[in-house]
Structure 1
Amino acid sequence: STPTHSYLKMLYKYPQRAYPYSQLATESRRRNRLEPEYELWDTGLFDDDRYFDIFIEYAKADEQDVLIKVTAHNRGPEAAPLTLLPSIWFRNTWVWGYENYNYKPMLTGIASSMIEVNHKLFGKYKLYCEGADELLFCEKETNFKRFIDKPNRSPYAKDGINDYITRGDGTAVNPNHIGTKAAACYEKVIPPGESVTIRLRFTNYTNHEPFADFDGVFEQRISEADEFYDDLQKAVTDPELRAIQRQAYAGMLWSKQFYYYNVNEWLNGDPSLPKLGGNRRYGRNGGWRHMCTANILSMPDTWEYPWFAAWDLAFHCVPLARLDPDFAKRQLAVILREYYMHPNGQLPAYEWSFSDVNPPVHAWATWKVYEIDKQMNGTGDVGFLERVFHKLLLNFTWWVNLKDEGGNNIFGGGFLGMDNIGVFDRSAKLPTGGRLEQADGTGWMAMYTLNMLRIACEISLTRPVYQDMASKFFEHFLHIAGAIKSLGGEEISLWDEEDQFYYDMLHIPNGASILLKIRSMVGLIPLAAVEVLDHELLDRLPDFKRRVEWVLNNRPDLASLISRWYEPGKGETRLLSILRGHRMKMLLKRMFDETEFLSPHGIRSLSKFHLKNPYEFYVNGEVFRVDYTPAESTGSMFGGNSNWRGPVWFPVNFLILDALLKFYSYYGDDFEIEYPTNSGELMTIREAVVAVSERLISLFRKGPDGKRPYQNQLDKPDADPNFEGLHQFFEYFDGDNGKGLGAAHQTGWTGLVAELIEYVYAFRTERVGEEKV
């Protein structure tokens, strides 16, 4: 896909055998949580190559003139029938009972070659259907008879076309060729190894020869798309990596979706429909009646996860900024608008519970998108920063007021996106009573504070009054840094000196405080709380610099905790971090240890230490346990549908690598670390970042055995040339072997692999330049 969607192409592998619904259900019920998931591959559905490759392409001749091409290849050994049904329909708003939506539009068939589209708001369009066998029409109306035996509003309900094709029910479609849902029907029998192509055109123009320029337009748009990506990928010379990156970019662009959710209307129900029970009126998202969305958003995946998620969206915007920085900026700005953000400042988490709490990564993503936009276009969009900054002030205040439960700058927050990473469900009431102070919640907030500080500094370069806000966030950061070392002035810390690691702390009603010693991503998140300011920036912000130096001179107790302000780093930089050099080294020592966090394909979400040393916590005779589980979850927490107890997840990997680059910008090449731990090999922080990035990228590259780790020894992709080079960007990956897990099409934040490829090649190019010098 191009960013403007002037050209798009997708592939759907469609089996020739009946879909094995009952087989999947029966076998999945038989298996327990300790067994691997029963996948589509396991059913034999693609055996003997009995499937079609269906390529669907779109090309724009103009903004309101879209050409559509569908090419179906029979990969099987025998001729096989295929019914193609390119469809068009109206969203049913006329039954709601609202005056503004009561107009019913119309689709009308003209012979068997065109469907005329009439809508009072959008005017007239035409769908030209070259060579269609027939046009089929029904209404976009629920078939009540099918499930509650209630009379239908129309004899031609919305599954009428399905019933006509699969059951031969001629009474299910409208013989007058009118309706609000329609399909052009193409019945084909495709010989083995051959293909058929159908062509359509959707336009608001009347065209007596709609397919005369069809092939020419496609050739031009494909050429333009190739030219766009040739320029975007000019630094990436490896053909395999170029293909991986381009497919990742395409997945990001295909994952856009129109998202409409009027919470107030949803809770109240529609005027013309039966009244809803009280549970619905005060049910899910009942506290978000202000929320009314009608935007094109970047979804985790429009195929398997077609819903809005706030922290996913923030990560999506990083690779999207390479493709379309304006779209990325609009994405970050829109969910801060008053029709998304709660009046109290909370950002909506995701649609099944807007009140849950996602990590506060919005300011981080805002700064990343600003940097990428500035790099690509030469100037930074300070207006965008300022617009987002004002709204983030409200969200920051919500965090401080609500999630700092003890009033001591140590934060909770609940599950914070990492579903089952804790020994307890961190979004539920604790079985012990009391409260949980979270190392990641506090780390996230320290990071948030520094992100806001950096944004305020950038805006201050043109609007000096913002130096006051930079000072405010600097001082807030100092207080968080002090609190994470000693809670409320007590000699209690989230840092454990014995293990040299950060842990969550449980405060129980009897006054005791217990460190929950689970070596997880929770304890690595404090690495992300880092910022580096160079002397040129500080010299241009005299008020901020003066205030910083006053605070450090008058509160040396705090200054000593967080930075080497008076020890300039590379290029006269100044470091702000809750980690002094020793703690950073200790965290990196664990993180780069292959017996703990470092897997062959990235940083694990839970240390492999817990494979032989599970963590157990006893409450009232019940044991709560955390084991190293590198693949799918073996428990039921959060439905057991994702797992943060061992697998590799791209978003947190990317965030930590990004933070380490900031440490590198301060320490430079003179500071070396052992990578991997106990290997005896020393390298700079930046070289270690590149090495981890290459491990993440290796998930998609062919290994020495000719196989891609994320496919995990699947035979079909290796044996069938028509699977070669087709990548799926899974939700997360096995912490041992790299197998793709969860949603198979969630380019979403896994699309960050495109940015890692960009970074690795930038490093290589720079290194080659240094060698030439």
Structure 2
Amino acid sequence: HFYFQQTDETLFTENETNTQRLFNFPNKTAFVKDAFHEAIAQGNQYMHQLCREKQQGTKFAPVYRLKIEGKSSATITLRLVNQELAEPFGKNFETVFKDRLKDADEFYESFHPKDSALDTDKIQRQAFAGLIWTKQYYHYDIERWLEGDPGLPKPPANRKNGRNNKWKHLKNEDVISMPDKWEYPWYAAWDLAFHCVPMSLIDPVFAKNQLILMCREWYMSPLGQLPAYEWNFFDVNPPVHAWAALSVYRIEKAVHKNTDVDFLKRIFQKLLINFTWWINRKDENDNNIFEGGFLGLDNIGVFDRSNLPPGSFLEQVDGTSWMAMYALNMMDIALEIAVHDAAFEDVATKFYEHFVMIAESLNEVGLWDEEDSFYYDLLYLNDGSVRRVKIRSMVGLSVLFAVSIIDSEKLKKLPDFIKKINYFRNYRQKTGKYLPIEHDTEDGSTLVTMVNKERLVKLLQKMLDENEFLSPGGIRALSKFHDRNPYSLNIHGNDYGIRYVPGESDSGMFGGNSNWRGPVWMPVNYLLVKALKKYHQFYGNNLKVEYPTGSGNFMNLLEVSNALAKRI
């Protein structure tokens, strides 16, 4: 039952599709589902009058007209309850309202860190509230969409060849975490993965179910691809699902004292299929360097990497880094399960080998530029020439994401895994092959990383330079170096370019409202902060860098990560 304060005006309509607006097909009734929008927002007086005169319907709204002066407020009292009330706004109303406020305060306060500042508590509460309120019921049956709804006009013939027409298996009917259910009321698989990490602090069950949901048979394609986002499920976004699953598992274990190995086993089985789909993606030179696809950082590229100049292909630093990170995440999941089930030791070794091969390729095929001390993409043209795309962006820093530490206590429980990685290491050392691994002789832990210590320091010099990546709000997606040094590239008479744009986008790529050419992007900054903490866990005070670069102020990587987090 819905109770509302007395108002002079109430509107009614029906929950019927506006076929005139959608399909240019006459409506069966004037009372369509968007009638209130037409009456109020659009100021349609005729529709307004119709809705006022209608005394019943499947949609209803009381209308309040308030004039609110600056710095003042007004209150409207409403109540939704599962029983009839004789006095819905009597004394009981205030009691219930205060009780619910108290419940909410106690809920959020239980997650605030001890001795935290009031401002940070408010930020955390607002962030959690945003996660909770952007859940949305989402119903999308692609086969039904292509064929049309019963009782409604047949869709245009070209729809059957339109977007997502190959995803007929996709039948979504769930409550899902949305990027923003007002502006972006559709899920995006990799956005959702990031949502689930903080969500696991307040609702780990929902977070785990969301990650598993994306891997279910009515979401994941038969070939193993996760649906990217509604606009084009075929797009290729960074594979962060395994990272999110591992993060959610660890947070639930630490905060809620629940070790849900069954969750890891369940999602691991599905991610094996997705990882295989990734590995089988096009690789022109068969060298573990990944190419093509909207990998989340295309917005800071010189061109849309999903639509390269004809006859060309791009060997991508970030595509390769994401896959290395994926392999390490899968290795870590397998190792965690193997502590409880030794049958998973073998597959952990397999993912370790995958990572080594990918890391070797990244460091030995020319993506590293010794002069600039940075990683750049390589563009292969149809005339056989190769261009290094010298853009200083988050793409080159993405190699830092792929890092893991295997502690000695866990290794002691995995004798077969130790035996196999020792054999693999010794073999590669004898044959002079690249091996991205370091051992700590003091505590026996093992660092697995894409970059050696020397290159790590060089990358951090760029990243922590205020004239390059370090901004007052975190790490820029595109270096400020390009403010005075715009990058341009001419291919077969066509000019491509990029420059530092810290404000609104000046490019029409990806809808135009997608500027990463200068602003700070939160998710990858979070990955950088977490990566720095892992590097510090291994190197400790044996590795200190200038922060900011050129300041003469040296910090260990934990201190740097905390300083970055404060800026963000």
Place the TM-score, normalised by the shorter chain, in its bin: over 0.9
Question: What amino acid does structure 1 have at the position aligned with 2:374?
Answer: F
Q: Which runs of 5+ in 1 are unaligned?
A: 1-125, 487-491, 697-773
**1:555-584 Cα distance to aligned partner (Å, 9 max, x none):** 22688634444x316633111112111111
In 2, distance between residues paired with 1:234 and 1:367? Answer: 22
Letter of the 1:603 counterpart: I
Please tell me the residue identity of whatever aligns with 2:505. S
More strand by share: 1
Cα distance in 1, alignment partners of residues 525 and 18 from structure 2 = 47
Counterpart Cα distance in 2 of 1:321 and 1:507 = 43
After superposition, where does 1:370-409 map in structure 2 within 5 Å? 370-409=249-288
Match of 1:537, as an amino acid? K
2:542 — aligned with what?
670
Which residue is equivalent to 2:448? 576
Alignment CA distance shift 1:155-1:252 (3 Å):
closer
**Alpha-carbon distance between aligned partners in 1 of 2:136 and 2:449, rounded to the nearest angstrom:** 38
**Letter in structure 2 aligned against 1:544:** F
Distance in 2 of aligned mates of 1:610 and 1:432: 27
- State the Cα deviation string for residues 695-722 of structure 1 (Å, max 9, x = none): 11xxxxxxxxxxxxxxxxxxxxxxxxxx
Q: 1:438 to 1:570 in 2, by over 3 A?
A: farther
Query: Who is 1:714 aligned against?
Result: none
Alignment-derived partner of residue 500 in structure 1: 373
For 2:327, give the aligned amino acid. T
Output aligned runs, 1:577-596, within 5 Å.
577-596=449-468
Match of 1:427 among 306, 309, 313: 306
- Structure 1 pair 405–296 and aligned structure 2 pair: CA distance change class (3 A): farther
Q: Check if 1:518 corresponds to 2:391.
A: yes
Q: Alignment partner for residue 339 of structure 2, among 461, 484, 488?
A: 461
The TM-score with structure 1 as length reference comes to 0.69
Q: Does 1:555 align with 2:428?
A: yes
Cα distance in structure 2, aligned partners of 1:672 and 1:192: 51
* Residues 1:617 and 2:489 aligned together: yes
Task: Read off the aligned partner of 1:555 and give its amino acid letter.
Answer: R
Q: Hey, what's the Cα distance between the residues in 2 that align with 1:523 and 1:557?
A: 30
Superposed, 1:587-666 pairs within 5 Å as: 587-666=459-538
| Deviation of the 1:183 alpha carbon | 1.9
Residues 407 and 189 from structure 1, CA distance in 2 versus in 1: closer, same or farther, beyond 3 angstroms? closer
Residue 182 of structure 1, aligned match among 48, 52, 60: 60
Classify 1:147/1:660 alpha carbon distance in 2 versus 1 (closer, same or farther; 3 Å): closer
Query: CA–CA distance in 2 between the matches of 1:343 and 1:544?
Result: 32
Cα offset, 1:389, TM superposition: 0.7
- 1:301-334 CA-to-partner distances (Å, cap 9, x unmatched) read 1222222111111111121111211111111111
Relative to structure 1, the CA distance from residue 617 to residue 164 in structure 2 (aligned partners, 3 Å threshold; closer, same or farther) is: closer
Which residue of 216, 223, 226 corresponds with 1:347?
226
Q: What do residues 454-474 of structure 1 show as CA deviations (whole Å, max 9, x unaligned)? A: 000000111110001101101
1:317 is matched with: 196
Higher relative contact order, chain-length normalized (CA < 8 Å, sep 6+)? 1
| Equivalent residue runs for 1:178-577 within 5 Å | 178-186=56-64, 196-212=74-90, 213-428=92-307, 430-431=308-309, 433-486=311-364, 492-556=365-429, 561-565=434-438, 567-568=439-440, 571-577=443-449
The one-letter code matched in structure 2 to 1:473 is F
Residue 154 of structure 1: aligned partner = 29
Distance in 2, matches of 1:397 and 1:127, equals 51
Structure 2 match to 1:17: none
Given that 2:9 and 2:52 are in contact with CA atoms closer than 8 Å, whether structure 1 keeps it comes out as no
- The Cα shift of 1:171 comes to 5.5
Shift of 1:394: 0.6
Measured in 2, the distance between the counterparts of 1:307 and 1:383 equals 29
1:214-246 CA distances to partner (integer Å, 9 max, x unpaired)? 211111111121122222114252122222222
1:191 Cα deviation after fit: 8.1
Deviations 1:356-386 (A, max 9, x none): 1100111111111111111111232111111
Correspondence for 2:554: 682
> 2:392–2:478: 8 Å Cα contact kept in structure 1?
yes
TM-aligned CA distance change 1:195 to 1:622, over 3 Å: closer
Match of 1:379, SS state, is coil
User: C-alpha distance in 1, partners of 2:432/2:522?
Assistant: 33
- TM-score (normalizing by structure 2): 0.93
Q: Secondary structure at the match of 1:302?
A: coil
Following the alignment from structure 1 to structure 2, what is the Cα–Cα distance between the partners of residues 193 and 625?
46
Aligned residues: 564
Q: Deviations over 1:483-517 (max 9, x none)?
A: 1123xxxxx32111221111111122333322211
Paired residue type of 2:210: Q
Checking the alignment, whether the CA contact within 8 Å between 1:569 and 1:668 is kept in structure 2 is no
Match of 1:57 in 2: none
- Seen in structure 2, the aligned counterparts of structure 1 residues 558 and 413 have a Cα distance that, compared at 3 Å, is farther
The alignment's C-alpha RMSD in Å is 2.4
> Mean alpha-carbon deviation: is it higher for 507-516 or for 620-629?
507-516
Question: 1-side partners of 2:109 and 2:287: how far apart?
Answer: 52
Alpha-carbon separation, structure 2, partners of 1:147 and 1:234: 49
Contact persistence 1:138–1:174 (CA under 8 A): no
Gaps of 5+ in 2: none
